[in-house]
């Protein structure tokens, strides 16, 4: 990368904030046993619904006397895991389909894009819920469902980027020299659309976190007693009048995490997208 890239990176105001939030989430996920103040499933029935700050519970306790702060810390592991694996599934499958559709065109392109359009017409969360109803509840099925739901959007973006690259002179030169299609795709097309994939993947992390929280809130995602921000919100909805903090802190964790990934994605788009360069 040239020095101009690092100059644009240094001038960005969004990337440092987003990167700090993402880094904090990463630290919480990696060092959860050291950061958590209590065992994640430790029930203290003597201090049920303890308010934030009472009896050594930083963010209070829930209806089982479990420490909310510790569960939020461990919940960050689930959110990041779902984000990485689900976005990875969507990015890989969508990139393969998008590159082949955009590069070869013709009947395969028309057929693939009509299938993607049909899937894309369904609401994002509704399609994930429908897939979970077929696959069943659980962490692995949630990641798989969210990843598959992301495939159409990735395929459309990658196809568009491939169409912009395939007519460049260096691609035409490689064809004239007799280079094989696979070599052209891997050595010329893919490296030139990597920035687009990175930007779109970073923006989709927030969507994956929200989708996992939604599925867990509905009881289709992470199952108790595994801590998840969505399942914590689901448990808190019955106690909004008596213990509203049970919903405040998991909701705030989702908000801040999604904000961090969106800021990071927007910043990377401003830095890497040549159309936005001044």
For 61, the 3-state DSSP assignment is strand
What mean pLDDT do residues 20-42 have?
Answer: 88
Q: Specify the pLDDT at position 47.
A: 81
Q: 223: which DSSP letter? A: P
The 10s digit of each residue's pLDDT in 118-173 is 887 777 778 888 888 888 778 888 888 888 888 988 999 899 888 888 877 777 78
What mean pLDDT do residues 44-72 have?
Answer: 85
The answer on pLDDT for 10 being more than 70 is no
Instruction: Give the residue from 82, 55, 64 showing the smallest Cα distance to 246.
Output: 64
CB 67 within 8 A of CB 37: yes
What are the structure tokens assigned to 247, written together?
């919903």
In whole angstroms, what is the distance from residue 241 CA to residue 244 CA? 6
Higher-confidence position of 53 and 252: 252
Report the DSSP beta bridge partners of residue 242: none
239-248 burial by CB neighbour count: b if 16+ within 10 A, else e? eeeebebbbb
Enclosing H/E stretch for 153: helix 139-165
The 10s digit of each residue's pLDDT in 180-194 is 878 888 888 888 888
CB 193 within 8 A of CB 158: yes
CATH number of 24-276: 1.10.3720.10
pTM of model > 0.85: no
In whole angstroms, what is the distance from residue 99 CA to residue 105 CA? 10
CA neighbours closer than 13 Å in the CB half-sphere of residue 42? 14
């Amino acid at each position: 990368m040239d020095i101009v890239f690092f100059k644009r990176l240094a001038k960005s105001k969004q990337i440092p904030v987003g990167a700090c939030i993402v880094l904090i989430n990463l630290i919480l996920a990696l060092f959860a046993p050291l950061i958590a103040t209590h065992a994640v499933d430790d029930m203290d029935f003597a201090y049920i619904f303890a308010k934030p700050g009472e009896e050594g519970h930083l963010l209070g306790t829930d209806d089982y006397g479990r420490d909310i702060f510790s569960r939020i810390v461990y919940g960050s592991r689930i959110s990041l895991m779902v984000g990485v694996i689900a976005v990875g599934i969507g990015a890989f499958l969508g990139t393969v389909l998008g590159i082949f559709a955009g590069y070869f065109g013709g009947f395969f392109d028309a057929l693939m894009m009509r299938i993607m359009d049909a899937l894309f017409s369904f609401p994002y969360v509704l399609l994930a819920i429908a897939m979970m109803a077929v696959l069943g509840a659980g962490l692995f099925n949630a990641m798989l469902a969210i990843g598959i739901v992301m495939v159409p959007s990735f395929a459309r973006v990658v196809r568009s980027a491939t169409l912009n690259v395939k007519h460049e002179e260096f691609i035409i030169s490689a064809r004239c020299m007799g280079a094989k299609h696979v070599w052209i795709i891997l050595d010329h097309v893919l490296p030139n659309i990597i920035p687009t994939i990175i930007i779109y993947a970073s923006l989709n992390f927030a969507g994956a976190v929200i989708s996992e929280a939604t599925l867990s809130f509905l009881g289709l995602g992470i199952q108790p007693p595994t801590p998840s921000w969505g399942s914590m919100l689901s448990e808190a909805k019955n106690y909004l009048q008596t213990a509203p903090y049970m919903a405040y802190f998991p909701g705030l964790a989702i908000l801040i995490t999604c904000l961090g990934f969106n800021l990071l994605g927007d910043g990377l788009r401003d830095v890497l997208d040549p159309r936005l360069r001044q």
